[in-house]
Amino acid sequence: MGVLTSVSAAIRTRTGRKSGTSARPRLVINQGGRDVLDKEMRSPETVGSLKRKECLYYFEALPLEGMEDIRDDRLGPDDLQVRLAFDEYETWEPGLALVWARSREKGTIPLALDMGLTDALSGDERAGVSSLPVRRVTSGAADTPIRRMLLVVVTYDAPYAGTDDPIWVRIRADAGLVAHHIVTDTPQTDLEIDTANIYELAVEVPFTKGELAASKTGEIRLGIHGSDKWVPKRICLFGLDEVSHAPQRVVPLVRISDPGPLSADPTEGVPSIVLALD
């Protein structure tokens, strides 16, 4: 048992004409009836934007001193609440929010996931609500069936780090190919310099993290179709226990930083990499 060392979030804004904002919403975590974290979603690690159709990746390293109340042994749905807050007199319409934490003892801990947010946030009560709960989830186990996935990627802020080529995720277990998803154009600004993206990936055959860990031939592989180099800064992959309904359990699969450039041109990078399990 211990305290959380960091909290991260990936939040995608809806596509409506007035859904985005240039203001600064906050991420709030309440435990034991009081707010133990209340921070604007801006930090040196924040990437992306809250404009319409865009994704914001937020990372907050928590100092151990002063954060002792956010303990990894008290993270049940009734012990901790996560919400988005907004005080300014404009509106913001998030559509998807994924929040997770890190603990030295337990690794990655999914906290909340809502893929169908519909309310508008606003400090003006005539335009929306000032605070919006994000539905709590529990961390899936090694034997939790994975039927869908969420891929979170951050692209480096460097010349030629972005790409126009599609990327793909392929997962093999001992039984064979269980997922092969190609990420093509979406309403987001896809894989461009200094952007964050979150993608929903299909699973063809349900699998478990335990099967991959025990497999001699199983792997999670990320690749690119084309020679337009892509330089990811961070890659996170999560498994969901539901195909279409709201997931109850989220399985942390991958958490990798600085994997190196991807390209079909061998002078620019490698065409694919194996992603180690988190």
Higher per-residue confidence, 71 vs 157: 157
Answer for the pair 237, 223: CB distance below 8 angstroms, yes or no.
no
Report pLDDT for 104. Answer: 86
Same domain, 106 and 222: no
Q: Give CA–CA dist 97/99, Å, rounded.
A: 7
Answer whether residue 262 is part of any domain: yes
Same domain, 165 and 125: no
CATH number at residue 89: 2.60.60.20
* pLDDT > 80? residue 75: no
E strand spans, the chain: 4-13, 26-31, 34-40, 47-48, 55-61, 80-85, 91-92, 94-103, 107-114, 121-122, 131-134, 138-139, 146-155, 167-173, 176-183, 196-207, 219-224, 232-240, 249-257, 272-274
* pLDDT > 60? residue 278: yes
Same domain, 8 and 132: yes
Q: Give CA–CA dist 104/2, Å, rounded.
A: 7
* pLDDT > 50? residue 83: yes
Same domain, 122 and 152: no
Report pLDDT for 229. Answer: 97
Same domain, 202 and 127: no
Domain end call among 136, 164, 181: 136
* pLDDT > 70? residue 86: yes
Report pLDDT for 4. Answer: 84
Same domain, 165 and 100: no
pLDDT tier, 25 (very low <50, low <70, confident <90, very high otherwise) = very high
Beta bridge partners of 176: 173
> Number of structural domains, the chain?
2
* pLDDT > 80? residue 78: no
Mean pLDDT of 120-146: 93
Higher per-residue confidence, 110 vs 79: 110
Query: Position of tokens 């299909």?
Result: 202
* pLDDT > 70? residue 21: yes
The string of pLDDT tens digits covering residues 182-214 is 998 999 999 999 999 999 999 999 999 999 999
Answer whether residue 104 is part of any domain: yes
Higher per-residue confidence, 31 vs 247: 247
Report pLDDT for 140. Answer: 94
Report pLDDT for 34. Answer: 82
* pLDDT > 50? residue 228: yes
**How does strand 138-139 pair with strand 4-13?**
unpaired
The CA distances from residue 48 to 45, 198, 202, in Å, are 10, 11, 24
Neighbours of 202 (CB within 10 A): 12
Report pLDDT for 245. Answer: 81
Same domain, 130 and 151: no
Give me the phi and psi of 218, to 5 degrees please. -75, 150
Mean pLDDT of 66-94: 78
Same domain, 95 and 196: no
Same domain, 45 and 90: yes
pTM equals 0.94
Token pair for 42: 């801006």
Residues 6+ positions from 199 with CB-CB distance below 8 Å: 150, 151, 153, 183, 186
Residues 6+ positions from 167 with CB-CB distance below 8 Å: 182, 183, 191, 222, 223, 224, 225, 230, 262
Mean pLDDT of 35-47: 90
Beta bridge partners of 167: 183, 224
Domain hosting residue 130, numbered range? 4-136
Answer whether residue 141 is part of any domain: no
Q: Give CA–CA dist 28/237, Å, rounded.
A: 23
- Cα angle value 117/243/195 (rounded, 5°): 55
